Amino acid sequence: MRIACILDPLPLLKAYKDSSVAMLREAARRGHTVYAIMRDDLAAVRGTIRARAVRLDLFDDNHAWYAERESADFRLAEFDAVLMRQDPPFDFEYITATWLLERAVAEGARIFNDPRALRDHSEKVSILEFPDLIPPTLVARAADVLNAFIDEHRDCVVKPLDGMGGARIFRVRDDDPNRNVIIETLTGGGVATIMAQRFVPEIAAGDKRISIIDGEPIPYSLARIPKAGETRGNLAAGGRGVAQLLSARDREIAAALGPVLAQRGLLLVGIDVIGDYLTEINVTSPTCFVEIAEQTGFDVAARFIDALEARLAS
């Protein structure tokens, strides 16, 4: 099969830990032909969605992990599968890409995750669909509403709706002398909506990333444990990743979300769980495949390609 992946620029990918690279390597091992597409190259040409795609040879060397072969202009529908794996920010250009990809689906392209589902599932706001699974949560931009929430819960986390990797996440207590300026900064003076959540102290044991593939969780999470003096577990913020078996509560949360999200065309989802609470549903480019495989021997990339092949055969 021919599998194309819409990626960030190849020289910027860290092959030693990148889940997209792990996916493509596994696909190539199985004899599939793999291609890379840059989002910049998506275009509607005379009503047909096309892109320049570069065929790749893949290697196990993490310093020289790919070689570019020939490139050509393709209709996206010419590929057996297209994986949308570009990192946020989920800005207007990302939304535009989902519109183009949705037209490609109408032309027969098989795109994972489904572009409409990508557009409809804010990685922060979509948790509101599952109120029984989340900590007390507020989405607002008015300073008085945000301050009232902080006053009520006393110890909170506030964050933008379009961030990733722990960027611009603040822990704010009711007696924090900087809380007004934090709210002003995150909301841009009241023009941007943000999220506030009651602080979950179990973050000390890790912010667990659980991968759900075609509705089923893999048996391990990656608990991202904050470094000393931090409340953010994100690996990009210096957190330490420790693989661990799913708890009964982890499985309960995954069972509630998995079938619903899979039915909507979300083949791969990465949910974040702190303690007993769901905090995010990541759909754009969920990661942590490599860390789990290295620590447990469970090949997450192989499980993903199994699911992809099954979807394509159906």
Please indicate whether residue 62 is annotated as part of the active site: no
Condensed to tens digits (0 to 9), the pLDDT of residues 190-228 reads 999 999 999 999 999 999 999 999 999 999 999 999 887
Residue tagged active-site, from 25, 50, 110, 124: 124
**Residues 6 or more apart whose Cβ sits within 8 Å of residue 156:** 149, 150, 171, 172, 173, 196, 197, 198, 199
Residue tagged active-site, from 50, 85, 110, 159: 159
Residue tagged active-site, from 25, 50, 208, 232: 232
Residue 240 — left, alpha, or beta (φ > 0 → left; ψ -120 to 50 → alpha)?
Answer: beta
Residue tagged active-site, from 18, 26, 272, 291: 272
- For the chain, the residue count is 314
> 202-313 architecture in CATH?
2-Layer Sandwich (3.30)
- Spell out the domain ranges in the chain: 2-116, 136-199, 202-313
In which residue are the tokens 């549903």 written? 281
Please indicate whether residue 147 is annotated as part of the active site: no
CATH fold, domain 136-199, is Dna Ligase; domain 1 (3.30.1490)
* CA dist list (Å): 85 to 4, 55, 173, 180, 295: 10, 17, 36, 36, 24
Q: Are 159 and 185 in contact (CB under 8 A)?
A: no
Checking if the pLDDT of 162 tops 90, the result is: no
Checking if the pLDDT of 88 tops 90, the result is: no
Q: Is the pTM of this model over 0.75?
A: yes
Please indicate whether residue 224 is annotated as part of the active site: yes
Condensed to tens digits (0 to 9), the pLDDT of residues 238-258 reads 789 999 999 999 999 999 999
- pLDDT of amino acid 237: 67
State the Cα–Cα distance between residues 235 and 245, nearest whole angstrom: 19
CATH code assigned to 2-116: 3.40.50.20
Checking if the pLDDT of 235 tops 90, the result is: no
Please indicate whether residue 18 is annotated as part of the active site: no
Please indicate whether residue 124 is annotated as part of the active site: yes
Please indicate whether residue 209 is annotated as part of the active site: yes
The average pLDDT across 292-296 equals: 98
Name the strand (E) or helix (H) holding 87: none
Residue tagged active-site, from 114, 123, 280, 291: 280
Structure tokens at 141: 């931009």
- Lowest average pLDDT, out of 55-59, 80-84, 110-114, 233-237, goes to 233-237
